[in-house]
């Protein structure tokens, strides 16, 4: 059964009626442009064909009864008390979105809902951004409001910053809300302008889940962000977006070893995004693959956010015939890698990489070919 059907069926079984609204928000895979979004830089994610769904029906009071199929749990809370610390941790993301909407002046009625999906949790495919965006879609529809997709995404980012305490950039929520089927999105994280870039022809995007769940990510992520800010200050610019590779080289001593490596990654990664976009437009897949390989090396050696499992799966993937290139994707420290593989080689690629990775790590990875999907939305199912 699809994740969408499971959510709808669970709603009917548990609440004994049909939902009136069904919202959907996809996860994302980032093709290239890692740890550049919070440096005002460029990223190239695609929304994927895995999503979080929430089916709901309004109530006459200000109470929310929320059932999660992913967490096999449920909770009831009041819309007057969304930050109650005694409520279960898994409900914090959905509550955060409702809290944000209320702060924006929307009055969301109480509702019964089932939430769940098929984005693996903690795998670096932005299941939390999808939860934030899907709940903003739902809450807004219940409140009878409308909002630009970009504002829904920025709402999700504010939930992370103000309600969760994670200083993320804008990439994940923007990919989830603004994705376009068959396209990746080039996002300028300073102007927030987006341009759709067609996914390659003749090659597939393969997601390689290492089965190593992310550790350390929160504290290390915040530390990287601070180091980038410190490097920008040394260089006398607003953000690392504003410097060239030559300027980083010239300031090497002033920056010191660590800040130099961090800045070098960000500045070179921004260039790789531009190269990838041009190469994709010309379907120059070898050039795209080369940029992916270089991105991984830079994240591993200069930004230091990879781990043994990611390095291993990327190394195995890069050695396969028909693989243009592979790299870690998302924040790092575990989770997923992404590879661009010639269509005719995909079957053999998936068959070979899994067992080879298991033999070296003892972990069972999960590999799948993903399609670039449309961004979030909400369906009215009838009263
Ligand atoms: C996480 C954050 C994003 C981005 C990536 C790294 O997914 O939520 O904003 O910074 O890490 O590229």
pLDDT at position 216, please? 60
Q: Is 169 in the pocket of ligand 1 (CB under 6 A)?
A: yes
In ligand 1, which atom is closest to the CA atom of 33? 12
Domains, the chain, with CATH or none: 3-198 (3.30.230.10), 203-370 (3.30.70.890)
pLDDT at position 180, please? 98
Residue 43 Cα to ligand 1 midpoint, Å, equals 10
3-state secondary structure of 123: coil
Count CA atoms closer than 13 A to 129's CA, side-chain side.
30
Q: Is 115 in the pocket of ligand 1 (CB under 6 A)?
A: no
In ligand 1, which atom is closest to the CA atom of 170? 9
Residue 78 Cα to ligand 1 midpoint, Å, equals 31
Instruction: State the pTM of this model.
Output: 0.97
User: Best of 168, 216, 335 to mutate for ligand 1, by most ligand atoms within 8 A of CB?
Assistant: 168
pLDDT at position 383, please? 60
User: Best of 48, 169, 229 to mutate for ligand 1, by most ligand atoms within 8 A of CB?
Assistant: 169
C-alpha 176/C-alpha 47 separation (Å) is 6
Strands 183-188 and 42-58: antiparallel
CA angle 40/43/48 to nearest 5° reads 140
Q: Is 269 in the pocket of ligand 1 (CB under 6 A)?
A: no
Report in angstroms the alpha-carbon separations of 225 from 36, 39, 166, 240, 243: 10, 8, 11, 11, 16
Residue 383 Cα to ligand 1 midpoint, Å, equals 39
pLDDT at position 83, please? 94
C-alpha 232/C-alpha 239 separation (Å) is 5
Q: Is 331 in the pocket of ligand 1 (CB under 6 A)?
A: yes
Report in angstroms the alpha-carbon separations of 308 from 147, 207, 357: 42, 17, 11
- Mind telling me the catalytic residues? 172
Residue 286 Cα to ligand 1 midpoint, Å, equals 26
C-alpha 208/C-alpha 52 separation (Å) is 20
Give, for all 383 residues of the chain, the pLDDT tens digit.
999 999 999 999 999 999 999 999 999 999 999 999 999 999 999 999 999 999 999 999 999 999 999 999 999 999 999 999 999 999 999 999 999 999 999 999 999 999 999 998 888 899 999 999 999 999 999 999 999 999 999 999 999 999 999 999 999 999 999 999 999 999 999 999 999 999 988 999 999 999 998 766 778 999 999 999 999 999 999 999 999 999 999 999 999 999 999 999 999 999 999 999 999 999 999 999 999 999 999 999 999 999 999 999 999 999 999 999 999 999 999 999 999 999 999 999 999 999 999 999 999 999 999 999 999 999 999 76
pLDDT at position 103, please? 97
C-alpha 121/C-alpha 269 separation (Å) is 26
Residue 289 Cα to ligand 1 midpoint, Å, equals 21
């Amino acid at each position: 059964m699809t994740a969408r059907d499971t959510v709808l069926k669970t709603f009917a079984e548990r609440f004994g009626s049909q939902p009136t609204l069904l919202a959907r928000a996809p996860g994302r895979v980032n093709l290239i442009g890692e740890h550049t979004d919070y440096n005002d830089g460029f990223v190239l994610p695609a929304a994927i064909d895995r999503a979080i769904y929430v089916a709901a029906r309004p109530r006459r009071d200000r109470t929310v009864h929320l059932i999660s199929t992913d967490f096999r749990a449920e909770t009831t809370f009041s819309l007057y008390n969304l930050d109650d610390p005694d409520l279960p941790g898994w409900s914090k993301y959905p509550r955060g979105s409702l809290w944000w909407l209320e702060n924006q002046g929307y009055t969301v009625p109480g509702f019964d809902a089932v939430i769940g999906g098929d984005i693996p949790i903690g795998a670096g495919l932005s299941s939390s951004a999808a939860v934030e965006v899907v709940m903003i879609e739902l809450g807004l529809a219940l409140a009878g409001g409308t909002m630009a997709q970009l504002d829904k995404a920025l709402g999700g980012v504010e939930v992370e910053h103000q309600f969760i305490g994670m200083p993320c950039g804008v990439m994940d929520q923007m990919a989830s809300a603004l994705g376009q089927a068959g396209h990746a999105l080039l996002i300028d994280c300073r102007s927030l302008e987006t341009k759709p870039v067609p996914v390659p022809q003749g090659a597939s995007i393969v997601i390689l889940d290492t089965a190593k769940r992310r550790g350390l990510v929160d504290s290390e992520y915040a530390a990287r962000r601070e180091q980038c800010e410190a490097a920008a200050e040394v260089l006398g610019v607003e953000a690392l977006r504003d410097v060239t590779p030559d300027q980083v080289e010239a300031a090497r001593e002033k920056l010191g070893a660590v800040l130099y490596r961090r800045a070098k990654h960000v500045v070179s990664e921004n260039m790789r995004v531009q190269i990838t976009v041009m190469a994709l437009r010309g379907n120059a897949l070898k050039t795209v693959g080369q940029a992916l390989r270089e991105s991984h090396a830079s994240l591993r050696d200069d930004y230091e956010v990879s781990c043994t499992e990611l390095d291993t799966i990327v190394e195995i993937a890069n050695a396969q015939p028909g693989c243009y290139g592979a790299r870690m994707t998302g924040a790092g420290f575990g989770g997923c890698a992404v590879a661009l593989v010639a269509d005719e080689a995909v079957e053999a690629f998936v068959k070979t990489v899994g067992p080879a990775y298991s033999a070296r790590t003892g972990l069972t990875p999960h590999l799948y070919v993903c399609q670039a999907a449309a961004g979030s939305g909400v369906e009215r199912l009838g009263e």
